[in-house]
Chain A
Amino acid sequence: MTHSTGSVSACLPIHSDLDLVRARQQVRQMTAQLGFGLVEQTKLVTAASELARNALVHGGGGQMECTEVTGGGVRGLRLVFSDRGPGIADLDLALSDGYTSGEGLGMGLGGARRLVHEFRVDSRRGEGTTVTVTSWAAAPPRPREGR
């Protein structure tokens, strides 16, 4: 898909549970400004909370970059979560519901994928994990990603 990508509007550190609150508030504010409906706002904020917590708990901290994007005349928000943690050993397993390596319900990664329109994980053992998600203010029915 061809999207025009704006410059990074915000880059927030994720090193404490206070940062998780800040990340949620940043995403809430930006989705509201971009004209997301209440349900889509709530979904993206929740996905951001899951992914930011993953970066904090499993990646030992990281950052969240927020970028406004435009595609087909529709505005969206792209979030990039990156950490320099141990990486994800088995991505398919990590994406499956109920799998957890820490405390939580094991819904973080797989659940977050269902809450956004586009989802991508890049993870290298020993180097870290980057998760990129994008949601659009008005989206057509989407095909399910993955298998």
Chain B
Amino acid sequence: MSGAPTSPYEGHVPVLRLGGVLLVTLQGDLYDSAAEQLRQDIGRTVSDSAVGGVVIDLSGVEIVDSFMGRVLSDVAAMTRLLAAQTVVCGMRPAVAITLVELGLTLPGLRTALNAEEAMNLLGATVSALPRRGRREST
């Protein structure tokens, strides 16, 4: 996993909608402008559609600096205001160690080990809400 190629993202980060959850998979090294764009895209998608949760998968991300940390924590705060929950998952151990030493423990952020657990975490929360989306069959 650590040998994954690092390809910089210049354009959009794919934001995939699965039922009532938005799945955002970050890969490689993100440009600052792409991270800013992502924040706006998530905000728009959450407010335009009945999305109750956002999962941000960081398993393909090799570093999170204070800028990226701020984007993640802003997205979490923003989605909360838009009546949705954000769960960050798949953070690599080296990234977690570095963030703590950097002084960024991001206390407002909900986390899960992987995307599946994040979906489960949100599934439980989302189904308790009236805004259920189309997750009936799962």
Which A residues contact B (CB, under 8 angstroms)? 17-18, 20-21, 24-25, 28, 38-39, 41-43, 45-46, 49-50, 53, 97, 103-105, 107-108, 110-112, 114-115
Contact = CB atoms under 8 A, between A and B. Distances in A.
B65 interface: yes
16 contacts: A17-B31, A18-B31, A20-B31, A24-B29, A41-B94, A42-B62, A42-B63, A43-B98, A50-B65, A50-B102, A53-B32, A104-B67, A105-B104, A107-B104, A111-B102, A114-B102
A57 B72 CA distance: 20
Question: Chain A at the B interface: mostly helix, strand, loop or mixed?
Answer: helix
A17 B10 CA distance: 10
A111 B103 contact: yes
A9 to B, nearest CB: 19
B70 to A, nearest CB: 5
Interface in B68-89: 69-70
Contacts of B8: 18, 21, 25
A28 B67 contact: no
Given A17-B32, A42-B62, A114 B94 contact: no
B76 to A, nearest CB: 14
B69 A105 contact: yes
Contacts, number: 79
Interface residues of B, number: 26
A107 B8 CA distance: 24
B120 interface: no
Nearest 7 interchain pairs by C-beta: A17-B32, A111-B102, A42-B94, A49-B65, A107-B66, A21-B8, A39-B94
B128 interface: no
B71 to A, nearest CB: 10
Of the listed residues A20, A46, A50, the one surrounded by the most CB atoms of chain B closer than 10 A to its CB is A46
A115 B6 contact: no
A68 B65 CA distance: 24
B101 A43 contact: yes
Interface string B84-109: 00000000111101100111100000
A42 B66 contact: no
Nearest to B106: A105
B103 A114 contact: yes
